[in-house]
Structure 1
Amino acid sequence: MTVHDVARVLPDVPALRNLCRSMAMVEAVLNPVGERFHSFNPTWSATEELASMRNGSGDEFDIVFPPAGAYVRGFDHESPFSPYHHDDVPRTWPGVVDSVPPIFQRYVHEPAFTDENGTPVVTACLWREAEADHWQAGQIDFPDGHPDPDGSTWLFELLVDPTPEAFQAFGEDYYETTIAIDAVRHVYDLRPLGRALITSLNPTASVEDVAQEAAAIGYPLVRELSLTTD
């Protein structure tokens, strides 16, 4: 799979935003006070939300949700597309960000997405304008014989398979625990989070801590818990 394959199957912008928020919320219940794989910041700026993935080994993605649509940046540090695999001067792989339209161009050079020298830290990039009917990616010559040249296969696997079952499989492997599928379905449906749901996902979690995380993520809470975060 390459970024072009991802572009054909990625959910539309509203559905992707909801998916990212749901994944972040399930992880916030599983690990309310520790480092997490997925996160969601509804107040990244006054007009932008940010979904992120960090695996702790230098691989990551970020999805910016501005009013104009969405911009996706992925980085696989082992990818042959890494800016740090070429000569002595880091440079992005030809085509990866060359076609990013002006409306999203500032994200290519956003300090949070570049290194200390201003080089975009990216191996895969997609974007979709709010009124568009499909995702776009640059024109790229992919090397022959590489099963995952830009890291898209694994970076975006939970985005191109937006099912509770896919997240359950990931979470059970990553957190080494059993995860109740009905609870994951509840969160993927964006139904309000309550005590029983929190306990079914993580019996040891502090309900108050999870409620605070939900408020920070922008995930709906039942009225009882909403009152504790006011």
Structure 2
Amino acid sequence: MKSLLELPEIESFKRRLQSLASLDAIVCPDWEFRYFSYDSNWAQGEEMGSIRNGSGDEVFALFSIHGCFIKEYCRAKSIMSNAYETVPVEFLEATNETAFSPDRVTNCYWKTKASDRWSMSESIETSDSNLGELLSLVDGDAETYLIFAKDYFDKTLPLGAVSQVLKFGNLTTPILDSLEFDGQFHDLSTELEQIGYPTAFD
């Protein structure tokens, strides 16, 4: 997923983030070393997903009754001083959310529930529809996560199990076993509940 046109519908994007956060929770029990996280109870009527690479790059996605707002920061790009100028009023509160490091922004994207397409900030100098590297990981393709997990966690995962998790179906004990989860089951169950991922453990 490289361009704005490839961003899916809001609900699909949300489920992809939830699935990726669940995979990270299974593969890496230590939260501070994960890329993906998700809080289905971020605030009343709001959910939040994030991606962090540990080197400063980050993505925050806020889901609300209005739609979805995404803030992106990439160290390799220049800060966009006018990033929030065209953001709809429905999402203005998100542009001031301290947890999202609002001053560190290289692009932002949004889609209201009434809109039929995603929009993005446009720099005065350039108009770049390409998504950042972190967002490109949210393409819903199991192969993408397999490559990521091998590079970042040095773990080789089974394609079938990863595919099942990305389908956002019930997470079962056999799937968990095939992913070789070695953390505390109670802790994982609590995290999956916070993520909002469905489970059907034995």
In the alignment, is the contact (CA less than 8 A) between 2:142 and 2:163 conserved in 1? yes
User: In the alignment, does 2:82 pair up with 1:98?
Assistant: no
2:155 maps to what in 1?
177
Show the counterpart of 1:46.
44
Question: Bigger radius of gyration, 1 or 2?
Answer: 1
Superposition CA RMSD, Å? 2.2
TM-score by length of 1: 0.80
Aligned to 2:137: 158
Deviation of 1:111 after TM superposition, in Å, equals 1.4
SS at match of 2:29: coil
Normalising by structure 2, what TM-score? 0.90
Q: Give, in angstroms, the shift of residue 203 of structure 1.
A: 4.4
Q: Tell me the distance in 2 between the aligned counterparts of 1:53 and 1:150.
A: 20
Distance 1:223 1:176, change over 3 A: closer
The yes-or-no answer on 1:14 pairing with 2:8 is no
Q: Report the identity percentage.
A: 27
Aligned to 2:41, what secondary structure does the other structure show? coil
Post-superposition CA distance 1:149-181 (Å, at most 9, x none): 89833121112x321111111111110011111
Correspondence for 2:98: 111
Partner of 1:131: 114
- Distance, in Å, in 1 between the alignment partners of 2:175 and 2:158 is 10
Q: Which amino acid aligns with 1:181?
A: L
**Higher percent of residues as strand:** 2
1:181 and 1:220 map into 2 onto residues whose CA distance is 20
Partner of 1:69: 67
CA gap of 1:103–1:143, structure 2 versus 1, over 3 A, is closer
Query: Are 1:74 and 1:152, in contact at CA under 8 Å, matched by a contact in 2?
Result: no
Secondary structure class of the residue paired with 1:20: helix
1:223 is displaced (CA, Å) by: 5.1
1:88: which partner in 2?
A: none
Measured in 2, the distance between the counterparts of 1:41 and 1:142 equals: 36
Cα distance in structure 2, aligned partners of 1:93 and 1:150:
17
Gaps of 5+ in 1: 83-91, 225-230
Q: CA deviation at 1:131?
A: 2.0
| Residues 77-92 of structure 1 aligned to structure 2 (within 5 Å) | 77-79=75-77, 81-82=78-79, 92=80
Name the aligned partner's letter for residue 24 of structure 1: A
| Equivalenced residues, count | 201
Task: Report the Cα distance in structure 1 between the residues aligned to 2:31 and 2:111, rounded to whole angstroms.
Answer: 32
Deviates more, 1:182-191 or 1:65-74: 182-191
Distance change (3 Å), C-alpha of 1:101 and 1:203: closer
Kept in 2: contact 1:63–1:72 (CA 8 A): yes
